[in-house]
Structure 1
Amino acid sequence: MIIKNKGIGKSTQLPVWLQGYIDSPQKQKQLYRKTLIIVVLSQIFGGAGLAAGITVGALLAQDMLGTESAAGIPSALFTLGSAGAALLIGLLSQRFSRRAGLATGFLVGGLGAIGIIIAAVINNVVLLFVSLLIYGAGTASNLQARYAGADLATDKQRATAASMAMVSTTFGAVAGPNLVDVMGEFAYSIGIPTLAGPFILAATAFIIAGLVLFIFMRPDPLVVSTAIANVQKKNDTFQGKKNSENLKMNKREIVVGATVMILTQFVMVAIMTMTPIHMGHHGHNLKEVGLVIGFHIGAMYFPSLITGLLVDKVGRTTMAVASAATLLTSGMLAAFAPADSMVFLICALVLLGIGWNFGLISGTALVVDATHPSIRAKTQGSVDVLIALSGATGGALSGMVVAHSSYAVLSISGAILSLLLIPVVVRPRKTQSKELV
């Protein structure tokens, strides 16, 4: 008989199927590959759902509220919603499984998108704001899926595994913004406001992503990796001072990794949120906005094809510094490039996406490196809460900054802020080296 557990890794006796994975490295590799395939498939749909809010959320709020200063509210709300959802998804994943946490997040996000559509139809701002918060659950699941890909990865595969989960988001994320016109026309044809059209796509995509994970992510990678780690821990003969030093090192690594992701998220969301408004001021139409945001979202995820390999090969610190340099270049280009030039806008937003990608994957690898599977999902959920809150703050402040100054000031501020990444990742390494001598 198997004693029922009250959380992952808490059973006193393991099921036969789970023991089979512990005893067989070959089965572990097979499950690792299967998990990546399932995550990739779900992320294709998740990316399409994610793109809707980014592309037209600000425009929908501006249209319904009649004021530009509130244009950053949608980004702030669904990012704030993703913060709360990130914590809940982490707790659900730790308590039950990755499958339960991620699938729930996507399905709830789909319900939020449906609520946004209804709010647009009846012109109810309160319902819009509540639904944007709920919609954020899909965003949280989309982001946390990268951890599922890394659950069974080796030390030298973790960044690559996380990047594989992210790169698949590219397909849906790029397609989403470029379907803005099509979905807008479809929405109009059935009596729904044009700007709510992309959220029809978001609702469908998030729900499909959730169903893919719920049906196919079996056995669960976090359950298996936790069991393996617990067995390894029991067999570990090194205790005492070594474990105490490792615990201190791990806490520092978590802080550093989290800070890298928090800063990159703040800068990226702030500039991205106000780009559609900035383009509207200079005569760009909705199709052009969708094109620029499509390139941006593609740049957020597509570089993952090589970013993970680079993080694993050249190191977490080097790639975090590269993130700072890329975000700096992006901010300055967005600030000083001709506002009527699609080419310069695309280049600036592509660099913004690449800089975010470098920071997210290097920071993710640092956090995964520093956490034991028995607490990994809960820790990752807590970190993603801070990332989401950072994005919410960036989105909210961006509208106020632009309303009282300009898009150029916002972009320059983001560029300067990105430089903080360098001392964050370099100084702790020096301190850590001295302590270990």
Structure 2
Amino acid sequence: MTIQTVPTADEENAIARRNAVLYAACQAFGGAAAPLNFALGAIAGSYLLGPDKALATAPVTGYTLGVALGALPAAMLMRAVGRKRGFMAGALIGIGGLLFATWALTVHSFWLFCMALMVNGFSGAFVQQYRFAAADRGTADFKAKAISWVLVGGIAAAVLGPQTVILTKDLLLPVPFAGAFLSGIALLVTSLIVMLFLAPSVPVPPVAGVAANTGRPLGEIIRQPRFGVAVLCGTAAYALMSLVMTAAPLAMIGCGFTADESTLGIQWHVLAMFGPSFFTGSLIARFGKPRIVATGLLILIACAVVALMGVELAHFWGALILLGIGWNFGFIGATAMVTETYRPEEKGKAQGANDFILFGTVAFASFASGQLLNAWGWGTVNAIVFPVVLISLGALVWLARLERMNAMAGEVAGR
């Protein structure tokens, strides 16, 4: 009989640390497809449309909608076949989507291009699971660090994606932008190679006396106040980021800046999204998750203020950098809060529900971004940040008071 020993805390964190490094590498290459789609989605959409540019951001909406639609299937697939095989399937879907996008641009079809980016987004739903996969192992205190370490891989993605656009967008001229999507396949192939070194998933240990335990019903998990507030804040941070970022390239082009300048703006933005991940986990461990989420939301307010101050290149780039930092604090903090609300056997459905809600809202935000920009301008896009942030901050204050009251009631009952 084989006796299974329970790893010590140090051994468990060592395993989690190795996994986080590998997932960070996957994030670097597989995640680079996202800034590629974001940098070119609206601009290429505008190129494919006629005089009316109101639907120019629809391809980016297709991408985010694909992420939303892929959230639950990605979580279910990984529960069935494990993280490693699931991530490899996601990368293969992404390769097909990039080929589809290249072909759609070649035949000059706007709606085929939107569908192609939806396929890319479906693949991106698997990439979003890297952060949760990193939290599968390690002690409770290490999980936030593991999530932030994985997102550090986004720093490399922030360079690889936009630089692929700048260097290869004219590769297939006279069809603009098609070369960048074709070249993006090399990034996903590289991520596939890295995935070969991932260790097989560790199955959830069965609960004694319970067959095929799947935990609490999803409705019960969702009704937890901490889950609801965490999803609200994470969704707000991500949706506001998508709203402003999607409109930014078109707004910059409309103000006379070049495609390369707008792409570099996206590069600085994505670097700001992932750069703070070097220390976000440590800040969460020191100050707590809700405070870091609140800080991120306040930084999003600062982004909107800078954007409303003018339309020079410094205003656009400065706002995009603040937008990335605010997203990092808000999203990582909220993700870490979500991981506290489910048991190991419940992670698939809880994570899938979180991502479905989050990316469904993000898809709506990216679609509304183009409509708002076309109808009311760049200022209106940024003005929406204020009420959404205030609602989210109010929810955090309410949660803090509720948990403090519950803790006091528990102390009284225990006396």
TM-score strictly above 0.5: yes
How many residues of Structure 1 are paired with residues of Structure 2 in the alignment?
Answer: 398
Q: Identity, % of aligned pairs?
A: 25
Q: 1:51 Cα deviation (Å)?
A: 1.2
Match of 1:94 in 2: 79
Match of 1:327 in 2: 300
Q: 1:21 Cα deviation (Å)?
A: 6.0
Q: Confirm or deny that 1:135 pairs with 2:126.
A: no
Map 1:165-184 → 2, pairs under 5 A: 165-184=150-169
Cα separation, partners in 2 of 1:250 and 1:413, compared to 1, 3 Å: closer
Q: Confirm or deny that 1:48 pairs with 2:35.
A: no
- What CA distance in whole angstroms lies between the structure 2 residues aligned with 1:178 and 1:343? 20
Q: Confirm or deny that 1:309 pairs with 2:254.
A: no
- What CA distance in whole angstroms lies between the structure 1 residues aligned with 2:7 and 2:25? 29
Q: Confirm or deny that 1:201 pairs with 2:172.
A: no
- What CA distance in whole angstroms lies between the structure 1 residues aligned with 2:44 and 2:128? 24
Pairing partner for 1:64 from 48, 62, 71: 48
- What CA distance in whole angstroms lies between the structure 1 residues aligned with 2:221 and 2:164? 48
Q: 1:35 Cα deviation (Å)?
A: 0.8
- What CA distance in whole angstroms lies between the structure 2 residues aligned with 1:186 and 1:316? 45
Match of 1:253 in 2: 226
Comparing 132-141 and 287-296, the one that deviates more? 132-141
Cα separation, partners in 2 of 1:30 and 1:311, compared to 1, 3 Å: closer
Match of 1:293 in 2: 266
Comparing 135-144 and 293-302, the one that deviates more? 135-144
Map 1:378-393 → 2, pairs under 5 A: 378-393=349-364
Pairing partner for 1:414 from 385, 389, 398: 385
Q: 1:280 Cα deviation (Å)?
A: 0.6
Cα separation, partners in 2 of 1:261 and 1:80, compared to 1, 3 Å: same
Q: 1:79 Cα deviation (Å)?
A: 0.3
Letter in 2 for 1:420: I
Match of 2:413 in 1: none
Q: 1:326 Cα deviation (Å)?
A: 0.4
- What CA distance in whole angstroms lies between the structure 2 residues aligned with 1:183 and 1:152? 39
Match of 1:218 in 2: 199
Match of 1:120 in 2: 105
Cα separation, partners in 2 of 1:156 and 1:399, compared to 1, 3 Å: same
- What CA distance in whole angstroms lies between the structure 2 residues aligned with 1:304 and 1:318? 16
- What CA distance in whole angstroms lies between the structure 1 residues aligned with 2:178 and 2:65? 20
Whether the 8 Å CA contact 1:50–1:138 is kept in 2: the answer is: no
How large is the Cα RMSD of the aligned pairs?
2.2
Letter in 1 for 2:82: S
- What CA distance in whole angstroms lies between the structure 1 residues aligned with 2:169 and 2:245? 21
Q: 1:376 Cα deviation (Å)?
A: 0.6
Pairing partner for 1:429 from 400, 404, 408: 400
Cα separation, partners in 2 of 1:42 and 1:394, compared to 1, 3 Å: same
Comparing 247-256 and 90-99, the one that deviates more? 247-256
Pairing partner for 2:369 from 383, 395, 398: 398
Letter in 1 for 2:38: I
Is there any run of 5+ residues in structure 1 with no aligned partner, and where? 1-14, 236-242
TM-score, normalising length from structure 1? 0.86
SS at structure 2 position matched to 1:176 = helix
Whether the 8 Å CA contact 2:57–2:369 is kept in 1: the answer is: yes
Whether the 8 Å CA contact 2:17–2:146 is kept in 1: the answer is: no
Pairing partner for 2:253 from 273, 280, 299: 280
SS at structure 1 position matched to 2:357 = helix
TM-score, normalising length from structure 2? 0.90
Q: 1:179 Cα deviation (Å)?
A: 3.3
Q: Confirm or deny that 1:268 pairs with 2:241.
A: yes
Comparing 348-357 and 121-130, the one that deviates more? 121-130
- What CA distance in whole angstroms lies between the structure 2 residues aligned with 1:125 and 1:391? 21
- What CA distance in whole angstroms lies between the structure 1 residues aligned with 2:353 and 2:197? 26
Q: 1:248 Cα deviation (Å)?
A: 7.7
- What CA distance in whole angstroms lies between the structure 2 residues aligned with 1:379 and 1:64? 39
Q: Confirm or deny that 1:354 pairs with 2:325.
A: yes
Letter in 2 for 1:44: A
